[in-house]
Copies of this chain bind each other. A is one copy, B any other.
Amino acid sequence: MTVKLTEYFQDAKQQFLVVAGPCSIESREQLLDTAKVVADSGATLLRGGIYKLRTSPDSFQGLGEDAYLLVKEAKEQLGLPFIAEITDPRQIPLFQDYVDVIQVGSRNMYNYALLKELSELDLPVVLKRGFSATLDEWIKAADYLRSGGNDKVILCERGIRGFDNKTRNVLDLASVSYLKKYSDHIVMVDPSHATGDSNLVADMAKAAIFAGADGIMVEIHPNPEQALSDGPQALTFQAYEKLMQEIKTLLPYVQKELVRS
Protein backbone atom coordinates (compact mmCIF):
# COMPACT_ATOMS: atom_id res chain seq x y z
CA MET A 1 0.00 0.00 0.00
CA THR A 2 2.95 2.35 0.38
CA VAL A 3 4.34 3.67 -2.86
CA LYS A 4 7.47 1.99 -4.01
CA LEU A 5 9.09 5.38 -4.35
CA THR A 6 12.17 4.08 -2.62
CA GLU A 7 12.81 1.85 -5.56
CA TYR A 8 11.95 4.67 -7.89
CA PHE A 9 14.69 6.80 -6.46
CA GLN A 10 17.14 3.95 -6.65
CA ASP A 11 16.48 3.20 -10.27
CA ALA A 12 14.59 6.01 -11.92
CA LYS A 13 16.29 5.34 -15.22
CA GLN A 14 14.15 2.30 -15.80
CA GLN A 15 10.94 3.64 -14.35
CA PHE A 16 8.22 6.09 -15.25
CA LEU A 17 5.94 7.90 -12.83
CA VAL A 18 2.42 9.06 -13.67
CA VAL A 19 0.78 11.61 -11.42
CA ALA A 20 -2.85 12.42 -12.13
CA GLY A 21 -5.74 14.14 -10.44
CA PRO A 22 -7.64 17.38 -10.26
CA CYS A 23 -6.08 20.83 -10.13
CA SER A 24 -8.01 21.59 -6.94
CA ILE A 25 -9.85 19.29 -4.58
CA GLU A 26 -13.36 20.64 -4.89
CA SER A 27 -15.59 18.07 -3.19
CA ARG A 28 -15.64 14.53 -1.77
CA GLU A 29 -17.40 13.16 -4.82
CA GLN A 30 -15.06 14.90 -7.28
CA LEU A 31 -11.97 13.60 -5.45
CA LEU A 32 -13.16 10.02 -4.97
CA ASP A 33 -14.47 9.67 -8.53
CA THR A 34 -11.23 10.99 -9.90
CA ALA A 35 -9.10 8.89 -7.54
CA LYS A 36 -10.86 5.74 -8.73
CA VAL A 37 -10.04 6.53 -12.35
CA VAL A 38 -6.45 7.27 -11.42
CA ALA A 39 -6.10 4.03 -9.46
CA ASP A 40 -7.74 1.93 -12.17
CA SER A 41 -5.48 3.40 -14.83
CA GLY A 42 -2.37 2.16 -13.09
CA ALA A 43 -0.95 5.58 -12.29
CA THR A 44 1.56 6.06 -9.51
CA LEU A 45 0.31 9.01 -7.51
CA LEU A 46 -2.91 10.94 -7.01
CA ARG A 47 -2.59 14.71 -7.09
CA GLY A 48 -4.99 17.38 -5.88
CA GLY A 49 -4.63 20.96 -4.77
CA ILE A 50 -5.34 21.64 -1.10
CA TYR A 51 -4.12 25.22 -0.98
CA LYS A 52 -4.14 26.95 -4.36
CA LEU A 53 -1.80 29.76 -5.30
CA ARG A 54 -3.99 31.92 -7.47
CA THR A 55 -2.89 35.12 -9.13
CA SER A 56 -5.80 37.04 -7.66
CA PRO A 57 -6.79 36.99 -3.97
CA ASP A 58 -10.39 36.89 -5.16
CA SER A 59 -10.02 33.54 -6.98
CA PHE A 60 -10.85 30.17 -5.39
CA GLN A 61 -8.01 29.42 -2.98
CA GLY A 62 -8.60 25.70 -2.42
CA LEU A 63 -10.50 23.94 0.37
CA GLY A 64 -7.51 24.23 2.72
CA GLU A 65 -7.70 22.11 5.89
CA ASP A 66 -11.09 20.69 4.94
CA ALA A 67 -9.34 18.76 2.20
CA TYR A 68 -7.09 16.63 4.44
CA LEU A 69 -9.81 14.22 5.54
CA LEU A 70 -10.93 13.80 1.95
CA VAL A 71 -7.36 12.97 1.01
CA LYS A 72 -7.17 10.43 3.84
CA GLU A 73 -10.37 8.79 2.67
CA ALA A 74 -9.24 8.62 -0.95
CA LYS A 75 -5.91 7.12 0.02
CA GLU A 76 -7.50 4.47 2.22
CA GLN A 77 -10.19 3.60 -0.26
CA LEU A 78 -7.94 3.29 -3.30
CA GLY A 79 -4.48 2.60 -1.98
CA LEU A 80 -2.92 5.47 -3.87
CA PRO A 81 -0.22 7.69 -2.43
CA PHE A 82 -0.91 11.42 -2.65
CA ILE A 83 0.99 14.50 -3.75
CA ALA A 84 -0.03 18.09 -2.97
CA GLU A 85 1.54 21.51 -3.26
CA ILE A 86 2.82 23.18 -0.13
CA THR A 87 2.45 26.94 0.07
CA ASP A 88 3.70 27.77 3.57
CA PRO A 89 6.35 26.08 5.76
CA ARG A 90 3.81 25.95 8.58
CA GLN A 91 1.82 23.36 6.62
CA ILE A 92 4.63 20.84 7.06
CA PRO A 93 3.22 18.96 10.08
CA LEU A 94 -0.11 18.27 8.38
CA PHE A 95 1.67 17.34 5.15
CA GLN A 96 3.77 14.83 7.09
CA ASP A 97 0.58 13.21 8.35
CA TYR A 98 -1.44 13.13 5.14
CA VAL A 99 0.77 13.59 2.11
CA ASP A 100 3.30 11.19 0.54
CA VAL A 101 5.09 13.53 -1.84
CA ILE A 102 5.33 17.30 -1.50
CA GLN A 103 5.15 19.59 -4.50
CA VAL A 104 6.79 23.02 -4.58
CA GLY A 105 5.05 25.09 -7.22
CA SER A 106 6.60 27.43 -9.76
CA ARG A 107 5.69 30.46 -7.67
CA ASN A 108 7.78 29.13 -4.79
CA MET A 109 10.80 27.79 -6.66
CA TYR A 110 12.83 30.77 -5.38
CA ASN A 111 11.34 30.60 -1.86
CA TYR A 112 14.58 29.41 -0.35
CA ALA A 113 13.27 29.65 3.23
CA LEU A 114 10.68 27.02 2.33
CA LEU A 115 13.15 24.88 0.38
CA LYS A 116 15.59 24.79 3.28
CA GLU A 117 12.91 23.52 5.60
CA LEU A 118 11.78 20.83 3.19
CA SER A 119 15.38 19.71 2.89
CA GLU A 120 15.18 18.43 6.49
CA LEU A 121 12.30 16.05 5.74
CA ASP A 122 12.29 12.46 4.62
CA LEU A 123 9.50 13.04 2.07
CA PRO A 124 10.10 13.18 -1.68
CA VAL A 125 9.73 16.68 -3.14
CA VAL A 126 8.71 17.60 -6.69
CA LEU A 127 10.23 20.98 -7.56
CA LYS A 128 8.49 22.75 -10.40
CA ARG A 129 10.53 25.11 -12.55
CA GLY A 130 9.91 28.82 -11.96
CA PHE A 131 8.10 30.77 -14.68
CA SER A 132 11.36 32.00 -16.15
CA ALA A 133 13.96 30.08 -14.20
CA THR A 134 17.19 29.24 -15.96
CA LEU A 135 18.34 25.66 -15.74
CA ASP A 136 21.12 26.82 -13.46
CA GLU A 137 18.70 28.53 -11.06
CA TRP A 138 16.47 25.49 -11.06
CA ILE A 139 19.34 23.11 -10.31
CA LYS A 140 20.57 25.43 -7.55
CA ALA A 141 17.05 25.52 -6.06
CA ALA A 142 17.24 21.72 -6.01
CA ASP A 143 20.56 22.11 -4.19
CA TYR A 144 18.67 24.03 -1.46
CA LEU A 145 16.25 21.09 -1.25
CA ARG A 146 19.15 18.68 -0.91
CA SER A 147 21.15 20.92 1.45
CA GLY A 148 19.64 19.36 4.61
CA GLY A 149 20.01 15.81 3.45
CA ASN A 150 16.84 15.18 1.45
CA ASP A 151 17.93 13.18 -1.56
CA LYS A 152 14.48 12.48 -3.01
CA VAL A 153 14.11 15.44 -5.30
CA ILE A 154 12.27 15.34 -8.63
CA LEU A 155 12.40 18.30 -11.03
CA CYS A 156 9.24 19.06 -13.00
CA GLU A 157 9.28 21.08 -16.22
CA ARG A 158 5.94 22.87 -16.59
CA GLY A 159 6.55 25.41 -19.33
CA ILE A 160 8.29 28.75 -19.26
CA ARG A 161 6.91 32.17 -19.93
CA GLY A 162 6.73 33.02 -23.63
CA PHE A 163 5.68 35.88 -25.87
CA ASP A 164 2.73 34.15 -27.47
CA ASN A 165 -0.64 33.53 -25.88
CA LYS A 166 -1.69 30.58 -27.98
CA THR A 167 -0.35 28.25 -25.32
CA ARG A 168 -0.28 29.12 -21.62
CA ASN A 169 3.48 28.62 -21.41
CA VAL A 170 6.23 27.29 -23.63
CA LEU A 171 6.99 23.66 -22.81
CA ASP A 172 10.78 23.39 -22.86
CA LEU A 173 11.29 19.70 -23.59
CA ALA A 174 14.91 20.24 -24.52
CA SER A 175 15.50 21.20 -20.89
CA VAL A 176 14.44 17.65 -19.98
CA SER A 177 16.87 16.15 -22.45
CA TYR A 178 19.56 18.54 -21.20
CA LEU A 179 19.04 17.59 -17.55
CA LYS A 180 19.08 13.88 -18.36
CA LYS A 181 22.34 14.21 -20.34
CA TYR A 182 24.20 16.61 -18.09
CA SER A 183 22.87 16.09 -14.54
CA ASP A 184 21.77 13.19 -12.33
CA HIS A 185 18.29 14.62 -11.73
CA ILE A 186 14.99 12.80 -12.08
CA VAL A 187 12.81 14.95 -14.32
CA MET A 188 9.05 14.99 -14.83
CA VAL A 189 6.90 17.01 -17.21
CA ASP A 190 3.56 18.70 -16.58
CA PRO A 191 1.95 19.12 -20.01
CA SER A 192 -1.28 20.48 -18.49
CA HIS A 193 0.12 23.72 -17.08
CA ALA A 194 2.60 23.96 -19.94
CA THR A 195 -0.02 24.14 -22.65
CA GLY A 196 -3.16 25.19 -20.80
CA ASP A 197 -5.06 23.36 -23.53
CA SER A 198 -6.43 19.85 -23.07
CA ASN A 199 -6.21 19.27 -26.84
CA LEU A 200 -2.41 19.48 -26.67
CA VAL A 201 -1.77 17.57 -23.45
CA ALA A 202 -1.57 14.05 -24.86
CA ASP A 203 0.83 15.04 -27.66
CA MET A 204 3.11 16.75 -25.16
CA ALA A 205 2.95 13.85 -22.70
CA LYS A 206 4.04 11.43 -25.40
CA ALA A 207 6.72 13.81 -26.65
CA ALA A 208 7.99 14.09 -23.06
CA ILE A 209 8.61 10.36 -22.93
CA PHE A 210 10.96 10.61 -25.91
CA ALA A 211 12.59 13.77 -24.57
CA GLY A 212 13.79 11.58 -21.73
CA ALA A 213 11.29 12.37 -18.99
CA ASP A 214 11.00 10.02 -16.00
CA GLY A 215 7.36 10.83 -15.49
CA ILE A 216 4.44 13.11 -16.23
CA MET A 217 1.86 14.95 -14.16
CA VAL A 218 -1.53 15.58 -15.72
CA GLU A 219 -4.70 17.24 -14.59
CA ILE A 220 -7.97 15.40 -15.03
CA HIS A 221 -11.49 16.31 -13.99
CA PRO A 222 -14.89 14.57 -14.11
CA ASN A 223 -16.28 17.63 -15.84
CA PRO A 224 -13.59 20.05 -17.03
CA GLU A 225 -16.06 22.72 -18.00
CA GLN A 226 -17.22 23.05 -14.43
CA ALA A 227 -13.79 22.94 -12.77
CA LEU A 228 -13.17 25.69 -10.21
CA SER A 229 -9.63 26.18 -11.55
CA ASP A 230 -7.78 25.44 -14.79
CA GLY A 231 -10.64 23.62 -16.51
CA PRO A 232 -9.40 24.28 -20.07
CA GLN A 233 -6.30 22.19 -19.47
CA ALA A 234 -7.94 19.26 -17.67
CA LEU A 235 -8.39 15.96 -19.50
CA THR A 236 -11.70 14.15 -19.29
CA PHE A 237 -11.53 10.70 -17.79
CA GLN A 238 -11.91 9.21 -21.26
CA ALA A 239 -9.05 11.25 -22.74
CA TYR A 240 -6.90 10.39 -19.76
CA GLU A 241 -7.56 6.67 -20.08
CA LYS A 242 -6.68 6.79 -23.77
CA LEU A 243 -3.43 8.59 -22.91
CA MET A 244 -2.55 5.97 -20.28
CA GLN A 245 -3.01 3.24 -22.88
CA GLU A 246 -0.68 5.04 -25.25
CA ILE A 247 1.90 5.60 -22.53
CA LYS A 248 1.90 1.91 -21.69
CA THR A 249 2.42 1.12 -25.36
CA LEU A 250 5.29 3.57 -25.74
CA LEU A 251 7.28 2.98 -22.54
CA PRO A 252 8.97 -0.19 -23.82
CA TYR A 253 10.55 1.90 -26.59
CA VAL A 254 12.44 3.88 -23.99
CA GLN A 255 13.10 0.81 -21.83
CA LYS A 256 10.96 2.04 -18.97
CA GLU A 257 8.05 0.70 -16.99
CA LEU A 258 5.32 2.34 -15.00
CA VAL A 259 5.89 2.70 -11.24
CA ARG A 260 2.94 1.32 -9.30
CA SER A 261 2.17 2.07 -5.71
**What is the predominant secondary structure among interface residues of chain A facing chain B?**
helix
Cα–Cα distance between A209 and B212 once the two chains are bound (Å): 14
Asked if B206 contacts A210 (CB within 8 A), the reply is yes
- Residue in B closest to A88 when the chains form the complex, CB atoms: B113
Which chain B residues lie closer than 8 Å to A206 at the CB level?
Answer: 210-211
Stretch of A2-10, A94-102, A157-165, A234-242 that contacts chain B: A157-165
Residues 166 to 202 of chain A near chain B (Cβ within 8 Å): 166-167, 170-178, 180-181, 194-195, 197, 199-200
Instruction: Give CA–CA (A139, B6) in the complex, Å.
Output: 43
CA distance A222 to B137 in the complex (A): 29
Q: Size of chain A's interface in residues, with CB distance under 8 A?
A: 66
CA distance A144 to B54 in the complex (A): 10
State A133–B208 Cα separation when bound (angstroms): 24
Which of chain B's residues has its CB closest to A180's CB? Answer: B203
Q: State which residues 203-236 of A face B: CB under 8 Å.
A: 203-204, 206-212
A131 cross-chain contacts in B, Cβ below 8 A: 130-133
Q: Which residues of B contact A180 (CB under 8 A)?
A: 203
| A255 interfacial contact with B, CB 8 Å | no
**Hey, which chain B residues are within 8 Å of A147, CB to CB?**
57
Is there an interface contact between A53 and B112, defined as CB atoms closer than 8 Å? yes
A250 at the interface (CB under 8 A from B): yes
| Known contacts A132-B132, A208-B207; A166/B175 CB under 8 A | yes
Mark A residues whose CB is within 8 Å of B. 53-58, 87-89, 106-108, 110-113, 116, 130-137, 140-141, 143-144, 147, 160-167, 170-178, 180-181, 194-195, 197, 199-200, 203-204, 206-212, 249-250, 253
